[in-house]
Amino acid sequence: MADSVDIIEVSARDGIQNEKTLLSTDTKLELIARSVEAGLRRLEVTSFVNPKRVPQMADADELVRRLPRGRGVSHIGLVMNERGFERARDAGVEEINFVVVSTETFNQRNQGVSIAETLAVWPTIARLAREAGIKAGVTLGATFGCPFEGEVPLEQTVRLVEAVAAERPHEIALADTIGVASPADIRRKATAVIAAAPGIPLRCHLHNTRNTGLANAVAAIESGVRRLDASIGGIGGCPFAPAATGNIPTEDLVYMLDRMGIATGLDLDGLIDTAHWLGRELDISPPGMLQRAGRFPPAPHAASAAAE
């Protein structure tokens, strides 16, 4: 197993994009600031997409311009086309995450174009990102299953990986967008992708829709993945996927990894506090378990001994 794992916080992007409550820019900035205070250093903060389709991301340009810089923090903006990249670049992101969905139907619903059209623009975006000094990664959405077409063959995943790897993204992410994967699915595809794109770090974006998210995170780590997405409180979901539910909760993931002896460098109490705060701001009860149960409490005799 790994000695450490990097966690990418996505609550400010994937977390809130499917919520009915629209957070103000100031509240989003506070969410990001709280995440940084808890030790997170890579954060997906927004999507540069059509605000009519995703109104929760309507303030993307202003949000990024107002972000404090420094402290080794890298802010990631999701983009789907060249116009989105230009907005992200001009706003000042340090990284972009380009998305290709793994099936034709879902790619059309998510991005309004075919997979071939999406792949055709990727070399241009990769070149523009290099020229601007911006790291460019690629996420393959719905890698493990599609709500419209069902299972995604391994061969399709490898084909897409090979297509995007030609431009040497700084990482490739496999997304279980609708939360259908099992640990066996994660191992099979992660192993194949690592073989198909040697030297390119692999990241996993997992959802807990069917309560397999944390088990899948362990399977990903066992397969060689060292970068995992998570969302404080476990909020999130794709607005273009029926019955979409949340990401794996950051605090639950950190608790599990801590117990496994895998370092994350994150402040668990700060994450739990932020999950409570975010639930109040969204007027929801976040699905994460740790923010309800709390840390593993000390045995009564241990607490008494400590007091003495």
Task: Spot the catalytic one: 180, 238, 271, 272.
Answer: 238
Beta strands in the chain (DSSP E): 6-9, 42-47, 74-79, 95-101, 135-141, 172-175, 202-205, 227-230
The pTM of the full predicted model, rounded to 2 decimals, is: 0.94
| pLDDT (0 to 100) of residue 286 | 94
Annotation says 146 is catalytic:
no
Residues 230-257 have pLDDT tens digits of 999 999 877 777 766 789 999 999 999 9
pLDDT digits (tens, 9 = 90+) for 279-296: 999 999 999 999 999 998
For residue 182 the two structure tokens come to 């099992």
* pLDDT at residue 299, rounded to an integer: 72
Reported as a single tens digit per residue, the pLDDT across 4-31 is 999 999 999 999 998 889 999 999 999 9
Q: How many helices and strands (H and E) does the chain possess?
A: 12, 8
Strand partners, 139: 99, 173
Give the Cα-Cα-Cα angle 182, 271, 65 (nearest 5 degrees): 100
Would you give the end-to-end CA distance of the chain in angstroms?
Answer: 38
Using CA atoms, how far apart are residues 11 and 278, in angstroms rounded to an integer? 10
Superfamily of domain 6-307: Aldolase class I (3.20.20.70)
SS (H, E, C) 196-223: HCCCCCEEEECECCCCCHHHHHHHHHHC
Could you give the CA distance from residue 99 to residue 110 in angstroms, rounded to a whole number? 10
Positive or negative, the CA dihedral 97, 142, 46, 275 is negative
Tell me which residues of the chain have a pLDDT lower than 70. Answer: 243-244, 301-308
